């Protein structure tokens, strides 16, 4: 017994606007059947014109706080995982969310690890809580990626949706101390596989002195689809199998795997590779799409509310994405 870290509550938010495959098919010379057969996605949610990532994140955060029975001013740390911040560089989206929800006593920062970001953020918050017993932290994954895709590029545009998920973490004295493994990793040699320009290497204006027009293709996400698929299948297997090996168990012993919802075909390939039934992988992407850093917390909150995820379940989280980055955790819910 000792200081333990517990996920005290989860929350999520999906924008009201639902965009079906039929709605976008004409933009990319495609069809609902083709998109679904290649992705497992039928629809996704898009933020309203007056909604930004912080708005989605704040909604999810407030629902997580309510579920946890924790007031916003009791939060000591906010970590927001996002690849689509409100502003290009600063202020951080976490700071904007802090103000929106009234978490006046919280430190706040963003974490950029793409689709691995939520699991990375959980570990940052967990370590902070171990160093600050008695405190509470809020971890958020929030994205508005619908504004970063080129609708003429169907390899990217058909995948992404907007949404946010959140979790409240609390430290408790004399609770069960988790001894299960956690894994974080990166491989910068694959940085070019998924990119979204706009930083100092590829600024939106090619010449910061002259007033040159914005180049159309420089503002959109670019992805090397086949390379990403191959990386994801191999890495997801390695994450889950590696975590289980360290814990002295088999992947089949897990109650459920909550993996990044990139593409159903990726999860099918991983299930075959690992010899697991597809049902072992919790999925929501049919009606949500790929929400990047928001996908895992969206899954967790939905599973909790459905009664699928119960106290005592041994689960694995697995994220993988741009960077290249990957992250995994294996623990007995709700103790990290």
Digit-coded pLDDT (tens) for 79-94: 999 999 999 889 999 9
Q: Quick one: pLDDT at residue 85?
A: 96
Per-residue pLDDT for 61 more than 60? yes
Give CA–CA dist 27/32, Å, rounded.
12
Does residue 216 surpass a pLDDT of 80? no
Report the distance separating Cα 69 and Cα 51, nearest Å: 26
Radius of gyration, alpha carbons of the chain: 19
Among candidates 127, 121, 54, which has minimal Cα distance to 94? Answer: 54
- The answer to whether residue 299 is catalytic is no
Annotated catalytic residue within 260, 263, 284, 299: 260
Average pLDDT, the chain: 92
Boundary residue ending a domain (175, 193, 219): 175
What pLDDT, on the 0 to 100 scale, is given for residue 150?
85
Average pLDDT over residues 112-123: 97
Higher pLDDT, 26 or 117: 117
42 is catalytic: no
CA distance 122 to 114: 14
159 by DSSP, 3-state: which? coil
pLDDT of residue 205: 60
Mean pLDDT of 137-148: 97
Classify strands 2-13 and 162-175 as parallel, antiparallel or unpaired: antiparallel
| Residue 211 confidence (pLDDT) above 70 | no
**Structural domains in the chain (count):** 2
- Is 127 tagged catalytic? no
Q: Tell me, what CATH number does 226's domain have?
A: 3.40.47.10
* Residues 99 and 194 placed together within one structural domain of the fold: no
177: pLDDT confidence band, cut at 50, 70 and 90?
low
Report the distance separating Cα 297 and Cα 150, nearest Å: 26
DSSP assignment of 86-97, as one string? SSSSSS-HHHHH
Same domain, residue pair 30 and 171: yes
Let me know whether 326 and 248 are in one domain: yes
Angle formed at CA 143 by CA 140 and CA 146, multiple of 5 degrees? 170
Q: How confident is the model over 230-284, as pLDDT tens digits? A: 999 999 999 999 999 999 999 999 999 999 999 999 999 999 999 999 999 999 9
Beta strand 325-332 pairing with 194-196 = unpaired
CA distance 2 to 5: 10
Q: Which of 21, 263, 284, 290 is catalytic?
A: 290
Catalytic residue, chosen from 21, 45, 115, 263, is 115
**pLDDT for the residue 156:** 87
Q: What is the residue range of 198's domain?
A: 182-332
Relative to beta strand 17-20, strand 194-196 is unpaired
């Amino acid at each position: 017994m000792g200081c333990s870290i517990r996920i005290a509550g989860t929350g999520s938010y999906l924008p009201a606007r639902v965009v079906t495959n039929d709605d976008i098919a004409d933009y990319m010379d495609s069809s609902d059947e083709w998109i679904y057969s290649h992705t497992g996605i039928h629809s996704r949610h898009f933020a309203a014109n007056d909604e930004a990532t912080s708005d989605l994140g704040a909604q999810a955060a407030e629902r997580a706080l309510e579920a946890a029975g924790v007031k916003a001013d009791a939060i000591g740390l906010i970590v927001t995982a996002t690849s689509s911040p409100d502003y290009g560089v600063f202020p951080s989206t976490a700071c904007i969310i802090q103000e929106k929800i009234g978490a006046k006593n919280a430190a706040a920062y963003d974490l950029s690890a793409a689709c691995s970001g939520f699991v990375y953020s959980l570990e940052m918050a967990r370590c902070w809580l171990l160093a600050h017993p008695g405190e509470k932290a809020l971890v958020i994954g929030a994205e508005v990626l619908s504004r970063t895709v080129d609708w003429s590029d169907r390899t990217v545009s058909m995948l992404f949706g907007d949404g946010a998920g959140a979790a409240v973490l609390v430290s408790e004295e004399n609770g069960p101390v988790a001894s299960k493994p956690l894994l974080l990793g990166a491989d910068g040699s694959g940085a070019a596989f998924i990119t979204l320009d706009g930083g100092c290497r590829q600024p939106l204006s090619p010449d910061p002195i002259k007033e040159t027009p914005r180049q159309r293709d420089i503002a959109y996400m670019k992805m090397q689809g086949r390379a990403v698929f191959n990386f994801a299948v191999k890495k997801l297997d390695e994450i889950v199998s590696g975590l289980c090996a360290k814990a002295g168990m088999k992947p089949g012993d897990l109650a459920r795997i909550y993996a990044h919802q990139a593409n159903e075909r990726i999860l099918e390939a991983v299930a075959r590779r690992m010899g697991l039934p597809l049902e072992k992988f919790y999925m929501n992407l049919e009606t949500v799409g790929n929400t990047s850093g928001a996908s895992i917390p969206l899954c967790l909150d939905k599973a909790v509310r459905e009664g699928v995820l119960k106290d005592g379940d041994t689960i694995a989280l697995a994220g993988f994405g741009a960077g290249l980055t990957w992250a995994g955790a294996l623990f007995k819910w709700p103790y990290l």
